[in-house]
């Protein structure tokens, strides 16, 4: 591939990765705000339970607490709406980044790839299989992006990264926690489930940011090697690491 064509392909991928990181950071901030309002709402619901135990219906403090709880709930709903929008946008850009990052592997002329750029994205939408196939896609991108390796099949025996496993486990747990919390009828329990899912979401998003930046860095180093003609196989430079 010519250096000009590769530069254009790389710039496209880099711009998507930057947008993905920005949207993930916005999502993280909105998760933090949701946790703050969720926690305050849990405390207010505990206060309302205390009022209920006093068996009074005319207490002005109870009425004020109910009004404030409703206002906090409305604010939390607004935050969750913005958070969903940020999550949706970040997900779209993340999937576009996955496609282009895997497309770069073809530009590197890597041999023995198990997935295509299209299926690297498609596995996220296949029920049941989307519980583990996206993890393997990320592992393939990580390994095949190693700047120390050549384009032969030696990359398949390279080490993966703890980032990928931790990110994927937290992502799955976040979705499980969110699904459970949405089905709880008790208000306090539902908000507790929401807070837990938000904490998991923050952790998963932070690791996603680190993963995007790490793979970008590996592919950038590899692209520089291609531009200078410095391509190394596993039997070469990497053997001395």
The domains of the chain are located at 3-25+84-240
Residues 6+ apart with CB under 8 A from 110: 144, 151, 155
The predicted model gives 152-166 an average pLDDT of 89
**pLDDT digits over 108-119, tens only?**
888 899 999 999
**pLDDT digits over 10-51, tens only?**
555 678 899 999 999 999 999 999 999 999 898 887 766 555
**pLDDT digits over 189-213, tens only?**
899 999 999 999 999 999 999 999 9
- Three-class SS state of 225: helix
Q: What percent of the chain has pLDDT over 90?
A: 55
- Three-class SS state of 35: helix
**pLDDT digits over 80-123, tens only?**
999 999 999 999 999 999 999 999 888 888 889 999 999 999 99
Q: What is the per-residue pLDDT for 192? A: 93
The CA distance from 159 to 36, in Å, is: 39
pLDDT at 241 over 50: no
Residues 6+ apart with CB under 8 A from 24: 90, 94, 205, 208, 209, 212
The predicted model gives 175-199 an average pLDDT of 91
């Amino acid at each position: 591939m010519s250096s000009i064509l590769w530069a254009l392909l790389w710039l496209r991928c880099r711009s998507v990765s930057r947008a993905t990181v920005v949207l993930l950071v916005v999502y993280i901030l909105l998760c933090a705000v949701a946790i703050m309002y969720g926690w305050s709402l849990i405390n207010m619901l505990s206060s309302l339970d205390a009022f209920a135990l006093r068996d009074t219906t005319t207490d002005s403090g109870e009425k004020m607490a109910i009004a404030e709880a409703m206002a906090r709930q409305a604010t939390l709903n607004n935050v969750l709406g913005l958070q969903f929008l940020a999550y949706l946008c970040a997900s779209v850009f993340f999937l576009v980044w996955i496609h282009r990052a895997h497309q770069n592997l073809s530009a590197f002329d890597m041999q023995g790839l198990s997935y295509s750029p299209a299926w690297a994205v498609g596995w996220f939408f296949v029920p049941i299989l989307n519980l583990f196939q996206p993890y393997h896609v990320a592992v393939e991108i990580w390994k095949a992006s190693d700047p120390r390796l050549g384009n032969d099949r030696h990359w398949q025996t390279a080490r993966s990264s703890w980032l990928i496993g931790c990110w994927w486990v937290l992502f799955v747990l976040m979705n499980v926690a969110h699904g459970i919390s949405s089905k709880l009828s008790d208000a306090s329990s539902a908000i507790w489930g929401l807070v837990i899912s938000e904490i998991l979401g923050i952790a998963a998003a932070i690791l996603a940011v680190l993963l995007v930046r790490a793979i970008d860095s590996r592919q950038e180093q590899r692209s520089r090697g291609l531009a200078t003609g410095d391509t190394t196989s596993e039997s070469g430079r990497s053997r001395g690491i």
